[in-house]
């Protein structure tokens, strides 16, 4: 039998690893594993962790759960008693293990009982005493605190991950412009969910916008900030701004939101320093215009598998440039079948490794001519380290398509009112050629209003263009930079009703700035047979 002094030394030796175990943040699994090992070394705990237990109402286990008080049975009778009678299987396991003394300690945190810690003694013949119970309660108290913190962290991470996945697009489609595929992998438990996001936004004229961004920080705040930025980008994309102008407006939005966050003492600013890459691809011209704000550059993989990194000005992260360094757009020609890869830094950056190594690894994974985009995404993810990523990983792949010339018709028209009847006739003839006779009357009205508006308020020659893709787009461009605004004329006003009429006749309409002026457009749904072609 151990002397009193020896038992005292054992308890002091036991407290030292307990303090180490509880002095650093751990997950619930970490603490259970380490704490179980520590308790087993000291008290010879014989039961298997993660075994489901259904205690009888009369057992000491149920009493400890109900009252929150510890239970000590120095000499355990494994042959009789209520809990033995109602749990013969467990009683047999206890007898087989040789346990002769038992302590049951509730795991309590925030006035709740999270579970029970059971301590049994088998090889040492000395039964548990009151001072053993005090030591066990000290261990369990520390364990409860760490376990509660770990559970709270897990709940917060789950909430952040749920929020982020709800804010990310559930399904991405590139329309007639691109075929798309995507992957998102959250960061590991130690770092928490980050603020990566991606988006695919259909624009007018069969074009598409591709977006990838990254918010500084991790957790619910980063996920919520990501949602604010994604919404801002979608709102700005609806204005059909060029990529460099869109990022300039987004930069202003970030600085304004940061000022609002700074006035709220309960909010941790996380929006400044966010990065973004915004690209617009046009399947008619097969050209892509890109701009970035501190984000990693895209990769372009041609139809033969050659990988290039476009020379794209980096730009300052959002909110940090103070408007002094303008964002710059670069225009690339992308032949049909090219793959454009947009990604977050978590895919190519890792501690102790240069980003060029990550870029080469990603390029090698994507350099497979003709491979399905889903397969390319999987290869890129497999190229990551076997360990869970320390930062979110986002990948958006887009394979370019090209609209056949037969689906686009355009005419250059003189800047004269006599042009209007000619424009109507040209549009009607083209619709008949495409088999879209049901749209002739409406499109003639749209062409009349748009061309008349361009003649009266624009400058220089006029171009009329019809694009047949998933919808029918009617575009009229001129060299004036002033974008039209819809008015609300009075009952006696003779002018100002043109755009209002265009809006009523169209499924969607708007305008956008181009290098040499502006484009005013309107869309019509295709009749079902034409849409099925």
Phi, psi dihedrals of residue 438, rounded to the nearest 5°: -60, -15
Strand 287-293: give its sheet, edge to edge: 195-202, 208-215, 275-282, 287-293, 330-333
- Give the three-state DSSP class for 394: strand
For helices 28-43 and 4-22, the axis angle rounded to 10 degrees is 170
Q: Where in the chain is the domain with CATH 3.30.450.40?
A: 1-160
Residues of the chain with CATH 3.30.565.10: 405-525
> What are the Cα distances from residue 78, in Å, to 92, 145, 387?
8, 33, 46
Whether the per-residue pLDDT at 193 is higher than 70: the answer is no
Burial class (CB in 10 A: 0-12, 13-18, 19+), 354: exposed
Q: What's the CA gap between 202 and 173, in Å, rounded?
A: 8
Taking residues 248-259, report their average pLDDT.
Answer: 88
Buried-exposed string 474-491: b where 16+ CB fall within 10 A, e elsewhere = bbbbbbeeeebeeeeeee
The string of pLDDT tens digits covering residues 135-164 is 888 888 888 888 777 777 677 667 666 666
Mind spelling out the 3-state secondary structure of 3-69? CHHHHHHHHHHHHHHHHHHHCCCCCHHHHHHHHHHHHHHHHCCCCCCCCCCCCCCCCHHHHHHHHCC
Cα–Cα separations (whole angstroms), residue 407 to 178, 361, 462, 463, 475: 16, 39, 20, 17, 14
| Angstrom distance (rounded) from CA 451 to CA 421 | 10
Residues 6+ apart with CB under 8 A from 497: 487, 489
Domain boundaries 405-525, corresponding CATH code: 3.30.565.10
Residue 70 has pLDDT above 60, yes or no: yes
Rounded to whole angstroms, how far apart are CA atoms 411 and 448?
14
Gap between the Cα atoms of 1 and 23, Å rounded: 33
Contact 394, 369 (CB under 8 A): no
Lowest mean pLDDT, pick from 133-137, 163-167, 171-175, 504-508: 163-167
The residue assigned the tokens 């180490």 is 20
Cβ neighbours, 10 Å, residue 174: 20
Strands (E), 86-147: 101-109, 112-121
Q: What residue ranges of the chain are covered by domains with CATH 3.60.40.10?
A: 169-400
Quote the mean pLDDT of the chain: 81
**Contacts by 356-365, CB closer than 8 A, 24 or more apart:** 359/299, 359/309, 362/299, 363/299, 363/301, 363/307, 364/307
Superfamily of chain region 169-400: PPM-type phosphatase domain (3.60.40.10)
Q: What CA dihedral angle connects 430, 436, 438 and 439, to 10 degrees? A: -60
Distance CA(325)–CA(336), nearest Å, equals 34
Average pLDDT over residues 63-84: 78
472 vs 204: CA distance, rounded Å: 10
Q: What pLDDT, on a 0 to 100 scale, did the predictor assign at position 167? A: 62
pTM of the model: 0.74
pLDDT at 495: 56
CB-count exposure of residue 330 (10 Å: 0-12, 13-18, 19+)? middle
The 3-class SS string of 458-497 reads CCCCEEEEEEECCEEEEEEEECCCCCCCCCCCCCCCCCCC
Q: Is the pLDDT of residue 19 over 90?
A: no
Only one residue has tokens 């261990």, namely 139
Among candidate residues 240, 252, 255, the one with its CA nearest the CA of residue 289? 240
Instruction: Return the percentage of the chain with pLDDT > 90, whole number.
Output: 40
Taking alpha carbons only, the member of 372, 382, 348, 374 closest to residue 182 is 374
Q: Express each pLDDT in 233-247 by its tens digit.
A: 999 999 999 999 999
Contact 506, 476 (CB under 8 A): no
CB of 233 closer than 8 Å to CB of 249 = no
Q: Is the pLDDT of residue 294 over 70?
A: yes
pLDDT tens-digit readout, 469-494: 999 999 999 988 877 766 665 555 55
pLDDT of residue 424: 96
Of 168, 314, 344, 338, residue with least CA distance to 247: 314
Return the pLDDT at 34: 47
Compute how many other C-beta atoms are within 10 angstroms of the C-beta atom of residue 246.
25
Per-residue pLDDT reduced to its tens digit, 407-456: 999 999 998 888 999 999 999 999 999 999 999 999 999 999 999 988 88
> pLDDT band at 28, cuts 50/70/90?
very low
Rounded Cα gap, residues 68 and 357, in angstroms: 56
Tell me the average pLDDT across 366-390.
82
Taking alpha carbons only, the member of 187, 152, 159 closest to residue 25 is 152
208 SS3 class:
strand
Element (H, E) at 522: strand 517-525
Distance, CA of 181 to CA of 281 (rounded, Å): 16
Element (DSSP H or E) covering residue 301: strand 299-301
The CATH architecture to which 1-160 belongs is 2-Layer Sandwich (3.30)
């Amino acid at each position: 039998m151990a002397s009193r002094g020896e038992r005292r030394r054992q308890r002091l030796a036991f407290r030292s690893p307990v303090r180490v175990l509880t002095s650093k943040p751990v997950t619930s699994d970490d603490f259970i594993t380490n704490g179980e090992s520590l308790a087993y070394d000291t008290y010879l705990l014989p039961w298997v962790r993660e075994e489901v237990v259904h205690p009888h109402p009369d057992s000491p286990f149920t009493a400890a759960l109900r009252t929150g008080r510890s239970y000590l049975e120095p000499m355990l009778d494994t042959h009789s008693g209520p809990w033995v009678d109602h749990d013969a299987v467990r009683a047999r396991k206890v007898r087989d293990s040789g346990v002769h003394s038992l302590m049951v300690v509730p795991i309590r945190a925030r006035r709740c009982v999270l579970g029970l810690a059971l301590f049994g003694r088998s090889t040492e013949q000395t039964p548990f005493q009151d001072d053993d119970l005090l030591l066990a309660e000290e261990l369990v108290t520390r364990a409860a605190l760490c376990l509660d913190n770990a559970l709270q962290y897990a709940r917060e991470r789950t909430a952040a991950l749920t929020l982020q996945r709800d804010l990310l697009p559930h399904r991405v489609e590139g329309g007639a412009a691109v075929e798309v595929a995507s992957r998102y992998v959250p960061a590991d438990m130690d770092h928490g969910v980050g603020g990566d996001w991606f988006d695919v936004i259909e624009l007018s004229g069969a074009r598409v916008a591709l977006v990838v961004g990254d918010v500084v920080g991790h957790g619910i705040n980063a996920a919520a900030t990501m949602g604010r930025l994604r919404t801002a980008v979608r709102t700005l994309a609806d204005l059909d701004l060029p990529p460099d102008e869109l990022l300039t407006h987004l930069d202003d939005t970030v600085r304004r939101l940061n000022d609002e966050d700074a006035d709220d003492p309960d909010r941790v600013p996380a929006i400044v320093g966010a990065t973004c890459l915004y690209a617009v691809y046009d399947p008619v011209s097969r050209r892509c215009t890109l701009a970035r704000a501190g984000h990693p550059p895209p990769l372009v993989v041609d139809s033969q598998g050659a990988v290039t990194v476009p020379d794209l000005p980096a730009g300052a992260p959002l909110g940090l440039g103070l408007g002094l360094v303008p964002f710059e757009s670069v225009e690339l020609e992308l032949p049909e079948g090219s793959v454009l890869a947009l990604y977050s830094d978590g895919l190519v950056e890792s501690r102790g490794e240069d980003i060029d190594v990550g870029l080469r690894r990603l390029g090698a994974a994507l350099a497979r001519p003709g491979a399905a985009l889903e397969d390319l995404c999987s290869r890129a993810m497999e190229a990551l380290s076997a360990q869970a990523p320390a930062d979110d990983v986002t990948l958006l792949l887009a394979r370019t398509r090209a609209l056949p010339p037969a689906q686009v018709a355009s005419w250059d028209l003189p800047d004269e009112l006599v042009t209007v009847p000619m424009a109507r006739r040209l549009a009607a003839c083209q619709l008949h050629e495409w088999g879209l006779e049901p749209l002739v009357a409406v499109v003639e009205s749209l062409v009349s209003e748009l061309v008349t508006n361009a003649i009266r308020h624009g400058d220089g020659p006029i171009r009329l263009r019809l694009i047949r893709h998933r919808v029918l787009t009617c575009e009229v461009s001129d060299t004036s930079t002033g974008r039209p605004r819809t008015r609300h004329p009075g009952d006696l006003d003779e002018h100002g009703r043109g755009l209002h009429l265009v809006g009523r006749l169209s499924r969607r309409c708007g305008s956008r700035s181009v290098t040499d002026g502006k484009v005013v457009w309107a869309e019509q749904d295709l009749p079902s047979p034409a849409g099925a072609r």
